Amino acid sequence: MAAVEVRGLRKVYGEVRAVDGLDLTVDEGEVVALLGPNGAGKTTTVEVLEGYRAPDSGSVEVLGFDPQTGGRAFRERIGIVLQEAGFEDTFTPRELVRLHAGYYPHPRAVAEVLTLTGLDEKADARVRTLSGGQRRRLDLALGIVGDPELLFLDEPTTGFDPSARRRAWELVESLRALGATILLTTHYLDEAEHLADRVVVIDHGRVLAEGTPEALAAAAGAATVISFRMPSGLRVADLPGVGHEARVAGSMVEVRTDTPTADVAELATWASGRGIELEALALARPSLEDVYLDLVGEAGAVGEAGAVGEAVDADDGATR
Ligand SMILES: Nc1ncnc2c1ncn2[C@@H]1O[C@H](COP(=O)(O)OP(=O)(O)OP(=O)(O)O)[C@@H](O)[C@H]1O
Ligand SMILES: [Mg+2]
């Protein structure tokens, strides 16, 4: 049985079609990443699955429950890390984790959760004194304390420093190894690539593409990307033949090619003949980022279609 089964989900806010006929399946034990630009409908989708928002139409089944009517029996089996959560500022992380542990029938040990999320040092500090990344760690702690079989993570590592992100990844991997099913959203393509069995790219509330990170990246077309730093004082027009196909990204030059051996040879002959060292020269498979940018466009979803009139406050949106 699938852990999450969504068919034709729609959610409208006034004139904005936040989710517009979305289909999504997450199998038991699978880690799925929802990717998409700001306003794509990721949070709305996840909040419907959590039972925080009522869908306008479509069918939604989560662990066999309708999230709207699943009640406590449903909530005991899921863990939630909201994109934006509010805390009682006067509590400490240890107190909040303990409080949340009390909502679940088989919680993890409070001390273990604080350690897993890197909060030992701040366990007894008032939440109001925590940094942004430390608060986010607390969100994560509250999401996992119930030892849920299904975990929703809405941008779990936004605001994390690089080592905290690595740690969170390890945490997700260990939860997955224990059999948890995880649906996460992220803007970090490396995070999706690293963690997800399957990636679902959405925009304007619809699925644009889905597949394993490798399969999606392969769909980007060319087999190989040659990249190097543009030698100072030179421009694309100065590069040899293959370089004319290049895309310039900041100080880097990227060439997509199906004949990397010949192209690298040409570049190398050209550069060494002029005594130029091609810095940061690298060969790579196209990344998820390449296909993502192809799918949603480099500009993203700025200038939302259909967003007319004032924003309508959700009538059914309950945040904790
Ligand atoms: N409570 C609300 N009232 C009105 N419009 C809303 C509300 N919540 C979301 N929207 C709109 O619905 C659309 C989808 O928003 P959503 O938060 O689901 O996007 P997202 O993919 O999570 O974006 P982000 O990456 O920025 O978190 C956006 O156009 C947003 O402005
Ligand atoms: Mg969001």
Residue-wise pLDDT tens digits, 33-87: 999 999 999 999 999 999 999 999 999 999 999 999 999 999 999 999 988 877 7
| 287 phi and psi angles, rounded to 5 deg | -95, 170
Is the CB of 38 inside a 6 Å radius of any atom of ligand 1?
yes
Ligand 1 atom closest to residue 155's alpha carbon, by position in its atom list: 27
Closest-CA residue, ligand 1 atom 30, reads 39
At CB < 8 A and 24+ separation, what contacts does 62-69 make?
62/3, 62/4, 62/5, 62/150, 63/3, 63/149, 63/150, 64/1
The answer, yes or no, to whether any atom of ligand 1 lies below 6 A from the CB of 42, is yes
Nearest atom (ligand 1) to Cα of 44: 18
Average pLDDT over residues 296-307: 48
Tell me, in angstroms, the distance from the centre of ligand 1 to residue 49's CA: 15
Per-residue pLDDT of 106-147, as tens digits, reads 999 999 999 999 999 999 999 999 998 999 999 999 999 999
Binding site membership of 205 for ligand 1 (Cβ less than 6 Å):
no
Residue 142, SS3 per DSSP: helix
Cβ–ligand 1 distance for 311 under 6 Å, the answer yes
The 8-class DSSP code of residue 63 comes to T
Question: What ligand is nearest to the CA atom of residue 40?
Answer: 1
Residue range 219-269, pLDDT digits in tens? 766 678 899 999 988 888 888 877 667 888 889 998 888 888 999 999 999
Q: Looking at the predicted structure, is the pLDDT value of residue 316 above 60?
A: no
Q: Is the pTM of this model over 0.85?
A: no
The CA distance from 20 to 186, in Å, is 20
What is the reported pLDDT for 110?
A: 98
For ligand 1, atom 28, which residue shows the shortest CA distance? 39
- In the sheet that 150-154 helps form, which strands lie side by side, from edge to edge? 78-81, 150-154, 181-185, 31-35, 198-203, 206-211
- Ligand 1 pocket residue status of 305, Cβ below 6 Å: no
Give the pLDDT mean for 302-311: 36
* CB 227 near ligand 1, within 6 Å: no
Which residue's CA is the closest to the ligand 1 atom numbered 27? 38
Share of the chain above pLDDT 70, in %: 91
**Residue 140, CB-side half-sphere exposure with 13 Å CA sphere:** 31
Cα(62)–Cα(74) distance, integer angstroms: 8
**Exposure on the CB side of residue 258, measured as CA atoms within 13 A:** 4
DSSP structure class, residue 125: S
In this prediction, residue 310 carries a pLDDT of 34
Please name the residues in contact with 114: beta carbons below 8 A apart, sequence gap of 6 or more: 93, 94, 97, 120, 123, 141
Q: Is the CB of 43 under 6 A from ligand 1?
A: yes
Ligand 2: centre distance to CA 81 (Å): 11
**What residue type is 157 in one-letter code?**
T
Q: Where are the alpha helices (DSSP H) in the chain?
A: 42-50, 71-75, 93-101, 110-116, 132-144, 162-177, 189-195, 213-218, 260-273, 288-296
Ligand nearest to the CA of 202: 1
Nearest atom in ligand 1 to 307's CA: 29
In short, whether 9's Cβ falls inside 6 Å of ligand 1 is no
Sketch out the chain's domains with CATH numbers: 2-217 (3.40.50.300), 222-285 (3.30.70)
Mean pLDDT along residues 159-168: 91
Number of Cα atoms under 13 Å in the Cβ half of residue 233 = 1
Average confidence (pLDDT) over 176-195: 93
CA quadruple 99, 103, 106, 107: dihedral, nearest 10: -30
